[in-house]
Amino acid sequence: MLQLIKRPSPSKAMVYLSPVLALLLTLCAGLVLFSLMGVSPMAALKAFFVTPISTTYGLGELWVKATPLILIGVALSLGFRAGVWNIGAEGQLLMGGIFGGAAALFFYEKTGFYILPLILLAGILGGLFWASIVAFLRTQFNANEILTSLMLTYVASLLLSLLVHGPFKDPDGFNFPESRIFSDSALLPILFEGTRMHFGAIIAVLVSLGGWLLLSKSLLGYQIKVMGDAPDAGTHAGFSQKKIIWIALLLSGGAAGLAGVIELTGPIGQILPNISPGYGFAAIIVAYVGRLHPIGALFAGLLLALSYLGGETAQIKLNLPLAVTGVFQGMLLFFILACDVFIHYQIKPRSASIA
Amino acid sequence: MTDLILPILLTLMTAATPLLFAAIGELVTEKSGVLNLGVEGMMLMGAVSGFATWHLTGSPFLGVLGGMAAGALMASLFAFLVLVLHASQVPTGLALTIFGIGLSALIGQGLVGVAYDGLPNLAVPLLSEIPFVGPLLFNQDALIYLSFALAFGVMWFMNKSHSGLVLRAVGDSHDAAYAMGYKVVRIRFLAILFGGAMAGVGGAYLSLAYSPLWAENMTAGRGWIALALVVFASWRTSRVLLGAYLFGGINIIQLHAQAMGANVPSQVMSMLPYLATIVVLVLISRDQAKIKLNAPASLTKPFHPSV
Amino acid sequence: MIAPKYTNLLELHAMRKAYPGCLANDDIDLDLRAGEIHALLGENGAGKSTLVKMIYGLLKPDAGEIIFEGKAVNITSPAMARGLGIAMVFQHFSLFDSLTVTQNIALGIGQKHDLDGLSEQINAISQRYGLPLDPQRHVYSLSVGERQRIEIIRCLLQQPKLMVMDEPTSVLTPQEVEKLFVTLQRLCDEGLSILYISHKLDEIKAICHRATVLRDGKRVACVEVADESPKTMAALMMGEELKTSSKRVKPKLGPVRLQLDALNMHAPDELGMALKDISLRVHGGEIVGIAGVAGNGQDELLQAINGERLCSSAPMVQIDGQDAGQMSVSQRRVIGLSSVPEKRLGHGAVPSMSLLDNTLLTAYERLGLVGKGWIDHQKSRTVTEQIVSEHDVKATGLSAPASSLSGGNLQKYIVGRELQQQPEVLVVSQPTWGVDAGAAQNIREALKALAKKGAAVLVISQDLDELMEITDRIGAICAGSLSSFYATDTVNYEQMGLLMAGAQSGELAAVS
């Protein structure tokens, strides 16, 4: 029999090794899964993890998908550190899309450099608005933010559907539930010719760096960490729990809203009933794989982006269902939570005597 | 008038039943001091496995068992991570939901578009002939009867049985229970497993009876509503029963309102259960002292027996 | 008539238990005769708790032999210990707050039970041994003394042969202690053997027959209590390191630095205590003590003074003449008020954070460790180094998480962190609770030194010995109200006991 022995202090090495180990275990489980589905495991893994990024265009796509994941993942890392469980980032993303999309349609006929920043700002406001409801209910009425933020996600998704079938609908669109295609002034500039990689990628990298500075160097970041680990100690220090809850939710709401409007003004270019394949939920995994660290979230965002791309490639090349992506993402989170046991524990054979 | 109300009440019962199963299961889990946020994922797995088993074997009975087994299997994964590997409960529960959404979609690939008649009603002879009350209480499918048996059974277990007392004790203070020699991990494992099995049945009810087909994400947040119901009920079984029927009621208002030609967009009607959940949570959570008194004191706290 | 085949009910031979980095029990022998009250005596950290946990099956010994009723036994679980006839009253009660007394006892007995019948049994025992208790009450509504009675009744219901009591008086008033001793004496007369763990010499002198003395994990002696004086036992218990604490000289009183004026505050929740009409003045240079049984408003008082909870009007708390009742924690700290809460991990320090980071927690304002919202990590390292070296904090490094420190070292660090800020007023709750003897001595000396420098020091403690040693004036808190205060050298333990039980000053006069 094996037993777990608590380490005197957490292992620094395992903090970094755990995601690697989890990724390897996910790949192994993937091999089994693919064999069960009757496809060649190696071919499937190649289609999943190599083919998508073997071209310049593919690398661009990786950044397109990673951008929203990084943005939200960084913010969720800060929020989870504060012990604030905003798991409704998907809803905040959709609200960012709704607000930003409305702004883009408002400026439809206009041109000018000021348009795009205003649209992005509108998107951020949408996310902030949605997250502030959660923060208000939590700080004012003590309502559990996990449940309220999630319920609001369903509401946001229905609201988007309502708007796309109504006011947002393209007047010349033969009654399809789609908006007009945005004007050029409302679109994010492409960074590299021949790809779809857009300016949002730079924003994502900057947000990640900014998150790191905030968390490691600022008093606010310190307060976030204290409140997450030991709220009573935070109160003793004189930090306000309500303030930290508001900040955590506004940061993630704003980031998710920004991600939503970036999706519209980047790869999509119009408002559709579905503007996100669950980026808001996948970002939870990004945060954990990235060790709740803003720089870690950058790399984890790229990894999760690859899982989306891989799923699409495997669907085209091997006719595998798109749902495989979700399974991979879920397994990755499971494995990383399991591997984290090694941070605090050592595994030893159950011995008869220590002395 | 009866002609109008009876069908509404009948659909209300079918809408309430999956919530009742899932919420009672989660109640037992939480009473042992463990918060499993994976209810949505376990319900989805229960729904797809139940439907797949039915599809393969032709037996709705086996379908229910399949759903139950899938829920329990998912729960055991959660239990292993949380109880053996000391993973924290909140992210592990989220992982279970994310995994369940993905895996159920994968398993259900070939099942989309298949449809059945749904679970047969079992009429109790004579009693079901009573006007109004008969069809409501004595001519239902087996799972509805079972859900009531479950609710009253759990009520008895929690309040009257010694094992129920032990379960509550473990949820109140795992350290004290451990010091007295109770097997905290084993008791919690069983409670988590039970919660998973019931979530599985709740999910299976959706795909076997409520709308007998499989569709991706068909639970549409019911797992989360079940979690909210436990809070709403202040961790009391009788109030879970009440809450499930309340939410079942909200769920069907939208259906019947549309049928009666209310001029409101369908999306707005569909928002109702989610908005109602938020309102209910706010109303219940306002009294923080009361929540503190009723919630199992060890809920979500990690258990590390000292050497 | 069958005479028992053994004279010793319990014998321990060469019991050994090692933890990483510490040999808690080093070949300990003990023999306990049938029908005696046997003391296990030692300072905090001497290894008493480790030893009894092995007797009760909660810890597995690395080596050694346990002989019970003349037979070698291998006790692997508390259930097995109970089966043999060994019962234990823990220092930290194993109780379930949300359940009733009867339910708690049913759980402790461990088998299915008719709860109504059990209630009657509880009533019977509680009357027979003078342990008043209502079986239907929920535990959260009970006082500490009542909670201890649950534990004792639970033990007695199992008709044990040996009852182990771990520091049973640390939470009781002197009067409650006397009542407990009457109960124990009666039990002993009826043939029950008791292993009585304590570091309080007067108690051992009062009730025990023999004493086994532990020091630093080793057994140093086993003595007949009647042949010893408290002084000789203290010498055994503390060994060479017998330190005499610096004598408290009458302080030079400065101006009033901390003043509480008719402080009223509602309870934080149903489990908490409201503060009622609390008035108190602490002068610069003096140490004032507040005694009291746990749960009588100590936490609430600390939080009202340090600003974790705000008062309804500003003059209720005055620091150096400023109305501070509505100032935030930070504002109060800036004008000179520091505090050390009772709970070290999770309230006084963040368990998962390093000492470096924990220094920031309360020291960043007064020591200027943060500028314009950004942390000066270099400066905070210097401060942490000073705290660690000046207060002799043993840790594996400045990056060691707070949770990895022993209780004594962590408390030295926390107190050191507050002293480093040179507070004008310091409020400390339970400064040495559960702290090993050496560290406790250090901390008490540090508090005295601070007062000598002119600061006002308020000590809230359940440890009456400690308060009698270090304070100049003393009073008690009971049910959220403060008693009158007296010069410490004019009151005795009995009077303090009455104050802790809520007596008015008139009743006190009758005793003295």
d(C-alpha B139, C-alpha B122), whole Å: 6
Cβ atoms C62, C71 nearer than 8 A = no
| Chain A (133-152) residues lying within 8 Å, Cβ to Cβ, of chain B | 137, 141-144, 146-148, 150-152
Chains near C with 3+ CB pairs less than 8 A apart are: A, B
Any domain includes C312: yes
Any domain includes A25: yes
The Cα of C171 is separated from the nearest Cα of chain A by a number of Å equal to: 24
Q: Give the chain C residue nearest A354 (alpha carbons).
A: C62
d(C-alpha A95, C-alpha A257), whole Å: 6
C339 and C206 fall within a common domain: no
Task: Centre a 10 Å sphere on the Cβ of residue C324 and count the other Cβ atoms it contains.
Answer: 26
Cβ atoms A290, A299 nearer than 8 A = yes
Domains contained in chain C, number: 2
**What is the model's pLDDT at position C6?**
67
pLDDT band per the 50, 70, 90 thresholds, residue B179: confident
A151 → closest Cβ in B81, B101, B277: B277
**What is the model's pLDDT at position C378?**
95
The whole-number average pLDDT for the span C157-166 is: 92
- Cβ neighbors of B244 (< 8 A, separation 6 or more) are B16, B17, B19, B20, B23, B229
**What is the model's pLDDT at position C508?**
64
The whole-number average pLDDT for the span B149-153 is: 97
- Amino acid making up residue A143: A
Best of C350, C398, C421 to substitute, by most chain A Cβ atoms within 10 angstroms, is: C350
d(C-alpha C99, C-alpha C345), whole Å: 27
**What is the model's pLDDT at position B2?**
64
User: CB distance from C151 to chain A under 8 Å?
Assistant: no
The whole-number average pLDDT for the span A337-347 is: 89
- Kindly state the tokens that stand for B154: 């759990």
CATH of the domain at C220: 3.40.50.300
Phi, psi dihedral angles at A344 (to 5 degrees): -105, -15
C79 vs A219, higher pLDDT: A219
Distances (CA, A) of C197 to A283, C89, C204, C237: 54, 10, 9, 13
pLDDT band per the 50, 70, 90 thresholds, residue C248: low
Which chain C positions have a beta carbon within 8 Å of A236's beta carbon?
A: 306, 308, 329, 339, 341, 347-348, 361-362
Which chain B positions have a beta carbon within 8 Å of C140's beta carbon?
A: 293
d(C-alpha C403, C-alpha C346), whole Å: 9
Q: What count of residues does chain A have?
A: 355
A144 → closest Cβ in B100, B105, B285: B285
User: CB distance from C404 to chain A under 8 Å?
Assistant: yes
Lowest average pLDDT, out of A344-353, B119-128, B193-202, C368-377, goes to A344-353
C269 and C232 fall within a common domain: no
| Contact assignment for A341 to B87 by CB distance below 8 Å | yes
Which chain A positions have a beta carbon within 8 Å of C344's beta carbon?
A: none
**What is the model's pLDDT at position C506?**
59
| Contact assignment for C360 to A9 by CB distance below 8 Å | no
Any domain includes A168: yes
B101 → closest Cβ in A285, A321, A326: A326
CATH of the domain at A223: 1.10.3470
> Of C213, C241, C269, which one is at a domain's C-terminal end?
C241
Any domain includes C88: yes
pLDDT band per the 50, 70, 90 thresholds, residue C2: very low
C221 and C291 fall within a common domain: no
Best of B88, B159, B161, B162 to substitute, by most chain C Cβ atoms within 10 angstroms, is: B162
Any domain includes A228: yes
| Contact assignment for A219 to C375 by CB distance below 8 Å | yes
**What is the model's pLDDT at position B7?**
80
Task: Give residue C412's region: left, alpha or beta (phi > 0; psi -120 to 50).
Answer: alpha
C453 and C331 fall within a common domain: yes
Residue A355 predicted with pLDDT over 50? no
| Contact assignment for B177 to C107 by CB distance below 8 Å | yes
d(C-alpha A195, C-alpha A201), whole Å: 12
| Contact assignment for A337 to B106 by CB distance below 8 Å | no
The whole-number average pLDDT for the span C264-270 is: 87
B86 → closest Cβ in A152, A333, A345: A345
C198 and C86 fall within a common domain: yes
Burial class, C159, CB count within 10 angstroms (exposed 0-12 / middle 13-18 / buried 19+):
exposed
Residue C399 predicted with pLDDT over 50? yes
> Strands across the sheet with C275-283, in order?
C275-283, C256-265, C317-319, C322-323
C315 and C230 fall within a common domain: no
pLDDT, tens digit, for every residue of B195-233?
Answer: 999 999 999 999 999 989 999 999 999 999 999 999 999
d(C-alpha C46, C-alpha C48), whole Å: 6
d(C-alpha C293, C-alpha C172), whole Å: 6
The Cα of C17 is separated from the nearest Cα of chain A by a number of Å equal to: 8
* 3-class DSSP assignment, residue C420: helix
| Contact assignment for A87 to B231 by CB distance below 8 Å | no
Chains near A with 3+ CB pairs less than 8 A apart are: B, C
**What is the model's pLDDT at position A205?**
98
> Of C214, C241, C268, which one is at a domain's C-terminal end?
C241
The Cα of A155 is separated from the nearest Cα of chain B by a number of Å equal to: 6
A321 → closest Cβ in B92, B109, B277: B109
- Amino acid making up residue C37: I
Any domain includes C212: yes
CA angle C84, C86, C92 (to 5 degrees): 145
d(C-alpha A122, C-alpha A116), whole Å: 10
d(C-alpha A227, C-alpha C110), whole Å: 40
pLDDT, tens digit, for every residue of A256-301?
Answer: 999 999 999 999 999 999 999 999 999 999 999 999 999 999 999 9
C351 → closest Cβ in A229, A235, A238: A229
C204 and C263 fall within a common domain: no
Cβ atoms C146, C104 nearer than 8 A = no
Any domain includes A355: no
User: CB distance from C502 to chain A under 8 Å?
Assistant: no
Residue B10 predicted with pLDDT over 60? yes
**What is the model's pLDDT at position C420?**
95
**What is the model's pLDDT at position C439?**
86
pLDDT band per the 50, 70, 90 thresholds, residue B112: confident
What dihedral do alpha carbons B164, B166, B170, B174 form, nearest 10°?
180
pLDDT, tens digit, for every residue of A157-192?
Answer: 999 999 999 999 998 888 899 999 999 999 999 999
Domain that holds residue C473: 256-511
CA-based R_g, chain A, Å: 22
C221 and C308 fall within a common domain: no
Cβ atoms A160, A91 nearer than 8 A = no
Task: Give residue B120's region: left, alpha or beta (phi > 0; psi -120 to 50).
Answer: beta
pLDDT, tens digit, for every residue of C41-56?
Answer: 988 778 898 899 999 9
d(C-alpha B230, C-alpha C506), whole Å: 53
d(C-alpha A26, C-alpha C414), whole Å: 44
pLDDT, tens digit, for every residue of C9-25?
Answer: 999 999 999 877 678 89
* 3-class DSSP assignment, residue A78: helix
User: CB distance from C76 to chain A under 8 Å?
Assistant: no
User: CB distance from C183 to chain A under 8 Å?
Assistant: no
Q: Determine how β-strand C374-375 pairs with β-strand C370-371.
A: antiparallel
Taken in order of first residue, the domains within chain B and their CATH numbers are 2-113+124-294 (1.10.3470)
pLDDT, tens digit, for every residue of C495-505?
Answer: 898 899 887 76
C142 vs B67, higher pLDDT: B67
C183 and C302 fall within a common domain: no
The Cα of A46 is separated from the nearest Cα of chain C by a number of Å equal to: 41
Domains contained in chain A, number: 1
Highest mean pLDDT, choosing among B21-35, B177-191, B208-222 = B21-35
User: CB distance from C62 to chain A under 8 Å?
Assistant: yes
Task: Centre a 10 Å sphere on the Cβ of residue A352 and count the other Cβ atoms it contains.
Answer: 5
Task: Centre a 10 Å sphere on the Cβ of residue C273 and count the other Cβ atoms it contains.
Answer: 21
Three-state SS across chain B?
Answer: CHHHHHHHHHHHHHHHHHHHHHHHHHHHHHHCCCCCCCHHHHHHHHHHHHHHHHHHHCCHHHHHHHHHHHHHHHHHHHHHHHHHCCCCHHHHHHHHHHHHHHHHHHHHHHHCCCECCCCCEEECCCHHHCCCHHHHHHEEEHHHHHHHHHHHHHHHHHHHCHHHHHHHHHHHCHHHHHHCCCCHHHHHHHHHHHHHHHHHHHHHHHHHHHCCECCCCCCCCHHHHHHHHHHHCCCCHHHHHHHHHHHHHHHHHHHHHHHCCCCCCHHHHHHHHHHHHHHHHHHHHCCHHHHHHHCCCCCCCCCCCCC
The whole-number average pLDDT for the span C216-222 is: 90
Residue C3 predicted with pLDDT over 50? no
Residue C80 predicted with pLDDT over 60? yes
Q: Give the chain C residue nearest B173 (alpha carbons).
A: C96
Average pLDDT over chain C, rounded to an integer: 89
Any domain includes C2: no
| Chain A (267-296) residues lying within 8 Å, Cβ to Cβ, of chain B | 281, 284-285, 288
How many cross-chain Cβ pairs, B to C, lie less than 8 Å apart?
63
C226 and C269 fall within a common domain: no
- Identify the CA nearest to A262 among candidates A80, A59, A126, A83: A126
- Kindly state the tokens that stand for A259: 């991600």
Which chain C positions have a beta carbon within 8 Å of A343's beta carbon?
A: none
Three-state SS across A314-327?
Answer: HHHHHCCCCCHHHH
User: CB distance from A329 to chain B under 8 Å?
Assistant: yes
| Interface residues of chain C, partner chain B, Cβ below 8 Å | 19, 57-59, 77-79, 82, 90, 93-99, 103, 106-108, 110, 112-113, 140, 269-271
| Contact assignment for A333 to B278 by CB distance below 8 Å | no
H or E stretch at A179:
none
The whole-number average pLDDT for the span A107-127 is: 94
H or E stretch at C215:
strand C210-215
Highest mean pLDDT, choosing among A11-15, B290-294, C242-246, C342-346 = C342-346
Cβ atoms A258, A74 nearer than 8 A = no
% chain A with pLDDT above 90: 81
Domain that holds residue A286: 2-349
C207 and C299 fall within a common domain: no
Any domain includes A354: no
Residue A241 predicted with pLDDT over 90? yes
User: CB distance from C80 to chain A under 8 Å?
Assistant: no
Adjacent-strand bridge partners of C486: C474
Adjacent-strand bridge partners of C477: C482
d(C-alpha A305, C-alpha A317), whole Å: 18
Cβ atoms A76, A275 nearer than 8 A = no
| Contact assignment for C357 to A238 by CB distance below 8 Å | no
pLDDT band per the 50, 70, 90 thresholds, residue A26: very high
Half-sphere exposure of B260 (CA within 13 A, CB side): 11
- Cβ neighbors of A107 (< 8 A, separation 6 or more) are A115, A118, A119, A183, A185, A186
- Identify the CA nearest to B200 among candidates B53, B47, B80: B47
User: CB distance from C143 to chain A under 8 Å?
Assistant: no
Cβ atoms B173, B10 nearer than 8 A = no
Average pLDDT over chain B, rounded to an integer: 90
| Contact assignment for B169 to C99 by CB distance below 8 Å | yes
Unique residue bearing structure tokens 């899938």: B70
**What is the model's pLDDT at position A124?**
98
| Contact assignment for C78 to B180 by CB distance below 8 Å | yes
Cβ atoms B64, A247 nearer than 8 A = no
| Contact assignment for A238 to C20 by CB distance below 8 Å | no
**What is the model's pLDDT at position C212?**
95
d(C-alpha B10, C-alpha C504), whole Å: 68
CA-based R_g, chain B, Å: 19
C384 and C413 fall within a common domain: yes
Distances (CA, A) of B237 to B17, B188, C82: 14, 18, 34
Residue A105 predicted with pLDDT over 80? yes
CA A6 centroid distance within chain? 32
- Identify the CA nearest to A263 among candidates A66, A126, A73, A111: A66
| Contact assignment for B86 to A344 by CB distance below 8 Å | yes
Which chain B positions have a beta carbon within 8 Å of A292's beta carbon?
A: none
| Contact assignment for B267 to A150 by CB distance below 8 Å | no
Q: Determine how β-strand C37-41 pairs with β-strand C193-198.
A: parallel
Residue C385 predicted with pLDDT over 80? yes
Cβ atoms C424, C320 nearer than 8 A = yes
| Contact assignment for C361 to A233 by CB distance below 8 Å | yes
